[in-house]
Amino acid sequence: MNLKGRSIITIDDLTNDELEAIFTIADEMTKNPGEQSNLCQGKIMATLFYEPSTRTRLSFESAMHRLGGNVISMASADTSSSSKGETVADTARVISSYADIMVIRHPWEGTAKVAAEYAEIPVINGGDGNHEHPTQTICDLYTIKKERKNIRGLNIALCGDLKHGRTVHSLAYALARMGANIILCPASGLEMPEHVLRKLQGDYGGIIQRLNSHYLPSLAQMNTGEKQSDNHNLDAIYITPSGSHQLALIPDIKAEELKHKIDIDALYVTRFQRERTQTDSKTQDYPVVDKKLLKGDEFKQALVMHPLPRVGELSRELDSDPRSAYFKQAARGVPVRMALIALLLGIKDIDIPARPAPNYPEKHAAIYSNDSELSCANKTCISAQPNQYVKPGFHIIEGNNLLLKCVYCEHERVIPFIANTATGIYHPYRKSFLHRINPQNRVFFESEEIAQKRGFRRAKECRW
């Protein structure tokens, strides 16, 4: 396997086999640290952090130093030319001439993707807005693998701010691919975004089911602190991939087939992402993980994980609990990132079985970028920012409704009208009508008013 020259923007940029290879090399880095000290001699890594960071930035820099390389760093947006109006694309071009590899964190979703499109060196996403944080997920998976030996078939509960937490978005995708069962326990109003749930179902074959609180009594009480009746439906959602994935056989477990309470193998806790919301205070019923909660039968063997920092949702009394794994997660960030850097620079290589690349539907969906005045509705997407010169682009997701999924941040919008530039006619979306139009002639509109303003006329009623 050779990852030389590749960029890692989302967790889907790595196959399951490639993730396993990274784990193998991370083990090697841990066991023989002295042998790695000259691997990156003469190489330079640039770290561009437009948001605060402790673990991600310092673990990347520590990893590069331990490999014998050097680091140049930009630790805040205020000290960069972005404060003068420089575009991300121009910054990426310039940094390519200063360094051999780049790590970037930015509050705009899709920024790492744009940087990778213009840079001539590998780009690693250190977190982009609410979107993804793939290297944190690699560290999380590595920790689960080290502590539990396997990932397939485990029951992993994701708890807290699932709406804004980029770490849980990347982790959910990877867990689904690798055959874990995912239980979502969001704080009120901070549920997993619909586009993430749709991807878990559409791309990875997941089944979303509501579970009766009988299966997870302590988890059901987490938000309310009150005992729930056996007939109460959890806010949590149980996701069980069905059928087989190209890279792994994913178990098919139906909630109605479960006769006993579910044991949680890992509880992944996340903080309230205050910096990504319009309010300074988290919800009153924000889940808190403490010794009292972990007395529940379902948590007897559960790893307690957290990407850190914690701000009250994870009790410090758990630090001495043998189930706590969050400081191990942080420590393992160094060997994992050492392995990733060495692979992307082509210094390390490893043989893996030849398998087909993942066939994720969105990777192969048609892309729409015609000039129809459509932009991404996500205000923190890089394509929605002024003076970045990023043209909006969307994956076309067909179904009962037509969805356009932003290629930068993956947020979706429903499109009710489609037009044909060859005929000057627009029509309410119907799947049959979509395929009658040459892709080069398709134009999508959010309203009839906009279509008519652009000079299109409504089609007469037809059987399409």
250's CB contacts (< 8 A; 6+ apart) are 152, 176, 179, 204, 205, 241, 242, 243, 244
SS3 256: helix
In sequence order, what are the residues at sequence separation of 6 or more whose Cβ sits closer than 8 angstroms to the Cβ of residue 260? none
Exactly one of 10, 15, 47, 56 is catalytic; which is it?
56
Rg (CA), the chain: 23
Catalytic residue among 31, 84, 259, 316, which?
Answer: 84
Q: How many residues does the chain have?
A: 464
Q: What DSSP element (H or E) covers 176?
A: helix 166-177
105 is a catalytic site residue: yes
The helix (H) or strand (E) run that includes residue 220 is helix 217-221
Rounded to whole angstroms, the Cα distance separating 394 from 207 reads: 25
Give the Cβ contact number of residue 279 at 10 Å.
9
Using DSSP's 3-state secondary structure scheme, residue 102 falls into strand
3-class secondary-structure state, position 358: coil
**Residues 6+ away with beta carbon under 8 Å from 134:** 8, 9, 10, 11, 13, 14, 124, 125, 170
Is 436 assigned a catalytic role? no
Task: Determine which one of 106, 133, 164, 198 is catalytic.
Answer: 133
Choose the catalytic residue: 43, 57, 66, 105: 105
Q: Which long-range contacts (CB under 8 A, 24 or more apart) does 249-253 make?
A: 249/152, 249/179, 250/152, 250/176, 250/179, 250/204, 250/205, 251/152, 251/153, 251/179, 251/181, 253/181
Return d(Cα 264, Cα 442) in angstroms, integer. 48
- Using alpha carbons only, give the angle 349, 353, 356 rounded to the nearest 5 degrees: 110
Tokens of residue 373, six digits: 């005045």
**Is position 55 annotated as part of the catalytic site?**
yes
Catalytic residue among 55, 152, 261, 430: 55
Listed residue (371, 343, 384, 444) closest to 114, CA to CA = 384
Which residues does residue 241 pair with via DSSP β-bridges, in sequence order? none
Is residue 134 within 8 A of residue 11, CB to CB? The reply is yes
User: Which residues does residue 124 pair with via DSSP β-bridges, in sequence order?
Assistant: 8, 103
62 close to 36: Cβ distance less than 8 angstroms: no
Q: 84 an active-site residue?
A: yes
CB 213 within 8 A of CB 233: yes
Active-site amino acid positions: 55-56, 84, 105, 133
